[in-house]
Amino acid sequence: MFVDSFEEIIAKMAVLKALGLKFSVDDFGTGFSCLSYLKRLPIDELKIDRTFVHDIVSDANSGAIAESIILLGRALGLSVIAEGVETEEQRDSLLRLGCSSFQGWLFSQPLPVTEFQSLCGA
């Protein structure tokens, strides 16, 4: 369905983006991630899939893939966030590779909105 109506999807995304919505490609590097979509879709951010983050300290291939995603995002002018960061070692490895945005249990477990607002000082 996505491929059949790709131009229509791009147009709808452009309208939503003009209204201030931002788009992120979740789980980048797995599943249906396709490099040809990156040059055409009006996206703002790539999210490094947690499978690469999980093994980044112990597996050179995971580190190489994460670094490639970071460099690709930078080259395309996109933000890059690493998902599933659970340890300081993972965070530090990602920092060395040039990624400075993270999400995961190292920072907080999922929270109800009110608890999240309290955590953020809102």
pLDDT at residue 26 in the model: 85
**Active site (catalytic) residues:** 83
| Phi, psi of 3, rounded to the nearest 5 degrees | -70, -40
The span from the CA of 101 to the CA of 94, in Å, is 9
Close Cβ partners of 34 (under 8 Å, ≥ 6 residues apart): none
What is the reported pLDDT for 33? 60
> According to the model, what pLDDT value does residue 89 have?
97
Q: What is the pLDDT along the chain (122 residues), one digit of tens a residue?
A: 455 688 888 899 999 999 999 999 888 877 656 777 788 889 999 999 999 999 999 999 999 999 999 999 999 999 999 999 999 999 999 999 999 999 999 988 888 999 988 888 87
Domains and CATH numbers, the chain: 23-120 (3.20.20.450)
Given this model, what pLDDT does residue 61 score? 96
Residue 2: predicted pLDDT: 54
**Quick check: pTM over 0.85?**
no
